[in-house]
Structure 1
Amino acid sequence: MAEQVEQLLADEGPLEIVAAGDPVLRRPAERFEGQLEPALLHRFVDALRLTMHAAPGVGVAAPQVGVALRIAVIEDPAPVPEEVRLVRGRVPQPFRVLVNPSYEAVGAARAAFFEGCLSVPGYQAVVARAAEVRLTGEDERGRPVDEVFSGWPARIVQHETDHLDGVLYLDRAEPRSLSSNQAMAERWARQPGPEGAARALGFDLPR
């Protein structure tokens, strides 16, 4: 594993994003237990952050760059209009590293919104997810993480943790909602929620 990461980091710049169809995205990632020594882990985390910013995205999991370890990074400046922020619960999230994360729903409430993925370029679809989750795991220094996320941050940590379990957002998506990025830009992107898309495309939203 360390040799693979060293090879990836040999070239400067963002790492290549692995696209859907690569088996690494469909296998549960290996629990991180020191496979990368601290200096190499630090460099790998820096590369994930650079890759996330360059994409751009709000999260990247190690399997998305071909490394089957339970490591992900997230960060969201949340540059959205106030109306969108209020409906989606999208608030800024600082950069953080998730090591060996897992989540469980807090309560039964769910929220459905369009979601995309750097490993499934060109499309978005509506995904219903837990509105609030408890995330447990560690940070890059091995310190325990036990935190409750709600709104859009909860969606981000679910999406990235799913990657570590071999799950893509399309596995949880409403198939009839699948929209190209062009359709999103022309029809749905400016709508705070997916209600208009549900009526027009003929799918139900969770209640």
Structure 2
Amino acid sequence: MSTTSTVKDRVEALVELYRDDVAPIVALGDPVLRRKADPYDGQLDGELLTAFVELLRRTMKAAPGVGLAAPQVGISLRMAVMEDPATVPAEVAEARERYPLEFFAAINPSYEPVGRTRRGFYEGCLSMPGYTGVVNRPLKVDAVYTDPTGERRKRALSGWQARIFQHETDHLSGTVYVDKLEPRSLATSANYTNRWADPVPTKAARELGFHLD
């Protein structure tokens, strides 16, 4: 059986099984999260692609999360969905440059840092629930991807929107955020909420002893 038919069969089965539900999210330790995902080159027809994107969206929102990559539901294709309502206090939004991001699906995404400015904030992953850690990432990126209609898109992203795009695109190269985090920043979600949920993790960096850009 060819790779194309295998991918199509797996997506068809997933969409059919969870047509009125959400897909299970693959947990860290599954090899699919460590593979470089295959480029999307038309393996799915238009109707199936639309159904798969909608399944990713439902699963992301139900989790809840602000992004979900295809490998996180067991499908090794370079595809991800993102959406952030940014329902955070104004002080947090300003400090983290976290503003609403409308839903979009990114096929074969890539990014390039813009400038040298980096910022470090706590982030988490739906494939590793219960933990969070600080990742220092470029503040601004030029993002490139294809949308589900086949149109190539270019966007300049900054702040939290750039962080989401980097996090999800990294998934498609077999990289998860724990590969990039400051090791001493790693905390349980409970400890983060109780101790380190400041708009900027300056206190956490000082007391836990990690680098913060």
Residue equivalent to 1:117: 125
Residue equivalent to 2:210: 203
**Pair 1:143-2:151 in alignment:** yes
What amino acid is aligned across from residue 159 of structure 1 in structure 2? H
Aligned length: 205
Partners of 1:203 and 1:184 lie apart in 2 by: 15
Identity of aligned residues (%): 53
Match of 1:185 among 172, 178, 193: 193
Deviations 1:151-177 (A, max 9, x none): 000000000000011000001000000
Match of 2:96 among 82, 85, 88: 88
Gaps of 5+ in 2: 1-6
Root-mean-square deviation (CA, aligned residues, Å) is: 0.7
* DSSP-derived class of the 2:16 partner: coil
* 1:46-65 alignment, distance < 5 Å: 46-65=54-73
What amino acid is aligned across from residue 208 of structure 2 in structure 1? L
Residue equivalent to 2:8: 2
Residue equivalent to 2:26: 18
Match of 2:49 among 35, 41, 62: 41
What amino acid is aligned across from residue 117 of structure 1 in structure 2? C
Partners of 2:73 and 2:103 lie apart in 1 by: 18
* TM-score after normalising by structure 1: 0.98
* 1:160-171 alignment, distance < 5 Å: 160-171=168-179
* TM-score after normalising by structure 2: 0.95
Residue equivalent to 2:4: none
Gaps of 5+ in 1: none
Partners of 1:162 and 1:198 lie apart in 2 by: 24
